[in-house]
Amino acid sequence: MSEIVYLFSERLQKTFRADKNNTELNVGDICLIESTLGGELAIVLETPRKLCKNAKAEKGASKVIRKATQKDKDKFAWMRKKEKEAFDFCLQRIKARKLPMKLVRVRYFFNEKKGIFYYTADGRIDFRALVKDLAKKFRMRIEMRQIGVRDEAKMIGGVGVCGRRLCCASFMKSFEPVTIQKAKKQNITINPTKISGLCGRLMCCLAFEEESRGRMYSEEEDIEED
Per-residue pLDDT of the chain (226 residues; tens, 9 = 90+): 578 888 888 877 778 888 888 888 889 999 999 988 888 999 998 876 654 454 555 566 889 999 999 999 999 999 999 999 999 999 999 999 999 999 999 999 988 899 999 999 999 999 999 999 999 999 999 999 999 888 888 887 788 878 887 877 777 767 777 877 777 777 777 777 777 887 878 888 777 766 555 444 444 444 344 4
DSSP 183: H
Residues 6+ apart with CB under 8 A from 7: 15, 16, 17, 18, 31, 33, 42, 43, 44, 45
- Which CATH class for the 75-147 domain? alpha beta
pTM: predicted TM-score of the whole model, two decimal places: 0.75
**68: exposed, middle or buried (C-beta count within 10 Å: 0-12, 13-18, 19+)?**
buried
Q: How far apart are CA 205 and CA 44, in angstroms?
A: 28
DSSP 159: B
Which sequence spans correspond to the domains of the chain? 2-68, 75-147, 171-225
Q: How far apart are CA 217 and CA 79, in angstroms?
A: 51
Q: How far apart are CA 205 and CA 47, in angstroms?
A: 30
The single-letter code of the amino acid at 91 is L
Buried b (16+ CB within 10 A) or exposed e, 34-48: bbebebbbbebeeeb
